[in-house]
């Protein structure tokens, strides 16, 4: 795993060799509360930036996860089907949601590093 980058929608990405592992941040899971269900995307689904890719349901709310970049889903974390609480206990490691083979020429310029993300949630929480 490399260095994580973040979206302002509280998702993290870890990109290695054109494959992004994507999940929700510690801050996001705290806002959701206890996660009880995760709807995962289909492997081989073609996604455009901004497409809804997953749904997370908690005791407090339901929220959609939109893909921050375009690409093809190449893996999903099936452990979340039986253990959705992994999103609470390990959101930035074991609780990853899906892996995306990024379209060629992907652009991460709108994404932010961890320090900037921490500043963002401090200013907007």
Which whole number is the average pLDDT over 80-100? Answer: 97
104 CB-contact burial (10 Å; exposed 0-12 / middle 13-18 / buried 19+): exposed
- Distances in Å between the Cα of 111 and the Cα atoms of 11, 68, 98, 105, 114 are 10, 9, 18, 15, 10
Which whole number is the average pLDDT over 85-103? Answer: 97
100 in helix, strand or coil?
strand
pLDDT confidence of residue 124: 86
Q: Which two tokens stand for residue 108?
A: 């991460």
pLDDT digits (tens, 9 = 90+) for 2-39: 679 999 999 999 999 999 999 999 999 999 999 999 99
pLDDT confidence of residue 3: 79
pLDDT confidence of residue 2: 66
35 in helix, strand or coil?
strand
User: With contact defined as beta carbons under 8 Å apart, do 124 and 41 qualify?
Assistant: no
pLDDT digits (tens, 9 = 90+) for 73-85: 999 999 999 999 9
Q: Residue 52 pLDDT more than 90?
A: yes
Please count the other Cβ atoms lying within 10 Å of the Cβ belonging to residue 44.
Answer: 9
Domains of the chain, start order: 5-124 (2.40.50.100)
């Amino acid at each position: 795993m490399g260095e994580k980058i973040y979206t302002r929608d509280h998702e993290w990405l870890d990109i290695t060799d054109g494959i992004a592992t994507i999940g929700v941040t510690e801050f996001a899971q705290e806002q959701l509360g206890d996660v009880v269900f995760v709807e995962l995307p289909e492997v081989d689904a073609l996604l455009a930036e901004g497409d809804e890719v997953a749904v997370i349901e908690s005791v407090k709310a339901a929220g959609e996860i939109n893909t921050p970049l375009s690409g093809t889903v190449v893996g999903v974390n099936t452990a979340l089907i039986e253990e959705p609480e992994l999103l609470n206990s390990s959101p930035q490691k074991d609780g990853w949601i899906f892996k995306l083979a990024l379209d060629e020429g992907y652009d991460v310029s709108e994404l932010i590093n961890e320090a900037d993300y921490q500043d963002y949630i401090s200013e907007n929480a």
